[in-house]
């Protein structure tokens, strides 16, 4: 064992440094991420300036190995404090990158070094976790996102080519009202939740609707459709796509005309029942790994169903070897996303030790024109660090989420994975995720084992929702 290995193993917790003061445990990093302003050339005509990781969008793909400690230097070249969140990984609270959990900020023009054990295996990602509020230059509205692939100990390898796709909008602006994809999810609306939403709207009064965020430019891997290199494939190949919805606020769809997707993993976790679907729906921060058999030669647009978003860049060309010409798009038949297709229907999720019920409500335009979100009537407060729930290590919890709003909420639990127990009105088991879409006026039940002590954040991954109240903190009883 050399000194570096020794240091890595001995520094179980992260080491923080402010500018100019080096800690004794600084080691040579395996990876360095520099946070700073840079340009993204989405197309020849559209070049945006935003905050990036290491000057590129998406940030560098970090290939890590499950269980092999990694040291990462985070350098903040900006004038504002930053946070890097290791989304989907089972790390300590001070490494995770959420200030509500106790992770320190990376100071302006300062740095921080982390050492952690990557895991679980699969497709994860990293992104900033600062609150943006009304500042659309900050948080996940910026270009601070990058993919992580944690190599499993045994890779199944049933594919010929692996392609990472990061879906992302740029040039955000505020508007009143938006166009939420209401045809994305299966499931039944609850009359009671609708009544609760109507009552909340009546209470808010007749004013204008709260702000939503819209975008002028759309991209896959930092290029608008038609710019950048196509995905080049060969007839007969099986291509494994790892797709990340890196949007700050939007639900995305993706279809490839004449092809189907065999979904093998959700949020990086292999599903119990891989299944073929004609198109994909992904909430903010969700990942899908799907194998496409290339059996329909041509030049195709792999793109979003929304014509306007695709026309402004949300797509990428898939080109078969030997095929040339203009890329073709065909509108697929409507298809609603059903998580239970990939789960077990023959076995129920294990009974929980405790159920925590959370009712989600919207206060229309309650905060300077922005909607405020509450959980059981309480908006998250950074001062009080509430709402707050206490977990006991080793217990199995069921979160029962009841959405008294018409918005879809991609809800996210930090530092733990959860198992879907009931979604869209259907029971299931075996689908392990870290983000899941909760449909408008719907209910959702998800289970997790309290097996990673430390403060743990739960929130909607829609940046506007999390910044304006939709957040709760779990901590562990001592």
Query: Contact residues for Cu ion (CB under 5 A)?
Result: 409, 460, 462, 465
Nearer to Cu ion, 58 or 172 (CB): 172
Nearer to Cu ion, 354 or 357 (CB): 357
Q: CB of residue 465 vs Cu ion: minimum separation in angstroms?
A: 3
Helix (H) or strand (E) holding 212: strand 211-220
Q: CB of residue 310 vs Cu ion: minimum separation in angstroms?
A: 24
Beta bridge partners of 402: 359, 443
Q: CB of residue 386 vs Cu ion: minimum separation in angstroms?
A: 19
Nearer to Cu ion, 111 or 462 (CB): 462
Q: CB of residue 403 vs Cu ion: minimum separation in angstroms?
A: 9
Closest CA to 78 of 125, 45, 38: 38
Q: Please, are residues 425 and 444 in contact by the beta-carbon 8 Å criterion?
A: no
Nearer to Cu ion, 82 or 212 (CB): 212
Q: CB of residue 249 vs Cu ion: minimum separation in angstroms?
A: 9
Beta bridge partners of 370: 367
Q: CB of residue 474 vs Cu ion: minimum separation in angstroms?
A: 18
Contacts of 157 (CB under 8 A, 6+ apart): none
| Residue 126, CA distances (Å) to 107, 123, 144, 307, 366 in order | 18, 11, 8, 29, 31
What single DSSP character describes residue 341? G
Nearer to Cu ion, 429 or 462 (CB): 462
Q: CB of residue 470 vs Cu ion: minimum separation in angstroms?
A: 5
Nearer to Cu ion, 349 or 401 (CB): 401
> Is 191 buried (19+), middle (13-18) or exposed (0-12) by CB count in 10 A?
exposed
Q: Please, are residues 393 and 234 in contact by the beta-carbon 8 Å criterion?
A: no
Q: Please, are residues 460 and 372 in contact by the beta-carbon 8 Å criterion?
A: no
Counted residue by residue, the chain has a size of 478
Q: CB of residue 250 vs Cu ion: minimum separation in angstroms?
A: 11
Nearer to Cu ion, 239 or 282 (CB): 282
Q: CB of residue 175 vs Cu ion: minimum separation in angstroms?
A: 17
Contacts of 153 (CB under 8 A, 6+ apart): 66, 67, 121
Contacts of 288 (CB under 8 A, 6+ apart): 241, 243, 261, 263, 265, 266, 280, 282
> Is 22 buried (19+), middle (13-18) or exposed (0-12) by CB count in 10 A?
exposed
Q: CB of residue 130 vs Cu ion: minimum separation in angstroms?
A: 18
Tell me the C-alpha distance between 27 and 113, whole Å.
8
| Residue 215, CA distances (Å) to 247, 308, 309 in order | 10, 11, 9
Helix (H) or strand (E) holding 10: helix 3-10
Report the DSSP pairing between strands 435-438 and 315-320.
Answer: unpaired
Q: Please, are residues 87 and 285 in contact by the beta-carbon 8 Å criterion?
A: yes
Nearer to Cu ion, 15 or 460 (CB): 460
Nearer to Cu ion, 170 or 470 (CB): 470
Q: CB of residue 97 vs Cu ion: minimum separation in angstroms?
A: 20
Nearer to Cu ion, 290 or 401 (CB): 401
Tell me the C-alpha distance between 212 and 464, whole Å.
8
Closest CA to 456 of 70, 83, 91: 91
Nearer to Cu ion, 72 or 466 (CB): 466
- Count of beta carbons in the 10 Å neighbourhood of residue 205: 8
């Amino acid at each position: 064992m050399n000194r570096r290995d020794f240091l890595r193993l001995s520094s179980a917790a992260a080491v923080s440094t402010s500018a100019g003061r080096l800690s004794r445990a600084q080691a040579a990093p395996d990876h360095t991420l520099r946070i700073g302003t840079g340009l993204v050339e989405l197309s020849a005509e559209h070049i945006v300036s935003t905050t990036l990781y290491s000057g590129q969008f998406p940030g560098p793909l970090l290939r890590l190995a499950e269980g092999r400690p990694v040291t990462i230097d985070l350098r903040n070249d900006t004038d504002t404090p930053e946070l890097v969140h290791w989304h989907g990984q089972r790390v300590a609270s001070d490494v995770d990158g959420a200030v509500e959990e106790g992770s320190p900020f990376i100071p302006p023009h300062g740095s921080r070094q982390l050492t952690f054990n990557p895991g679980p295996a699969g497709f994860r990602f990293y992104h900033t976790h600062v609150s943006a509020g009304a500042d659309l230059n900050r948080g996940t509205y910026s270009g601070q996102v990058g993919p992580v692939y944690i190599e499993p100990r045994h890779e199944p390898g049933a594919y010929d080519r692996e392609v990472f796709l990061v879906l992302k909008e740029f040039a955000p602006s505020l508007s009143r009202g938006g166009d939420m994809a209401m045809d994305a999810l299966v499931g039944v609306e609850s009359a009671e939740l609708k009544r609760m939403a109507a009552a909340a709207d009546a209470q808010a009064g007749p004013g204008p609707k709260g702000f939503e965020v819209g975008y002028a430019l759309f991209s896959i891997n930092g290029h608008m459709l038609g710019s950048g290199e196509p995905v080049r494939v060969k007839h007969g190949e099986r291509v494994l796509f790892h797709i990340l919805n890196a949007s700050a606020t939007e639900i995305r769809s993706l279809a490839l005309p004449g092809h189907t997707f065999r979904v093998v993993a959700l949020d990086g976790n292999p599903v119990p029942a891989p299944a073929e679907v004609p198109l994909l729906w992904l909430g903010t921060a969700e990942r899908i790994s799907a194998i496409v058999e290339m059996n329909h030669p041509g030049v195709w647009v792999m793109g979003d169903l929304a014509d306007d978003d695709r026309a402004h860049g949300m797509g990428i060309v898939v080109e078969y070897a030997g095929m040339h010409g203009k890329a073709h798009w065909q509108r697929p038949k409507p298809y609603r996303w059903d998580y239970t297709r990939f789960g077990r229907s023959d076995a129920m999720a294990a009974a929980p030790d405790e159920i925590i019920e959370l009712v989600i409500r919207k206060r229309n335009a309650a905060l300077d024109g922005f909607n405020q979100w509450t959980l059981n009537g309480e908006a998250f407060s950074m001062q009080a660090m509430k709402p707050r729930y206490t977990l006991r290590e080793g217990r199995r919890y069921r979160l029962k989420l009841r959405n008294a709003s018409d918005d879809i909420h991609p809800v996210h639990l930090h530092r733990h994975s959860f198992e879907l127990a009931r979604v869209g009105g259907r029971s299931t088991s075996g689908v392990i995720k870290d983000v899941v879409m909760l449909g408008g006026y719907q209910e959702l039940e998800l289970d997790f084992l309290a097996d990673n002590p430390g403060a743990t954040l739960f929130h909607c991954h829609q940046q506007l929702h999390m910044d304006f109240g939709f957040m709760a903190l779990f901590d562990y009883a001592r």
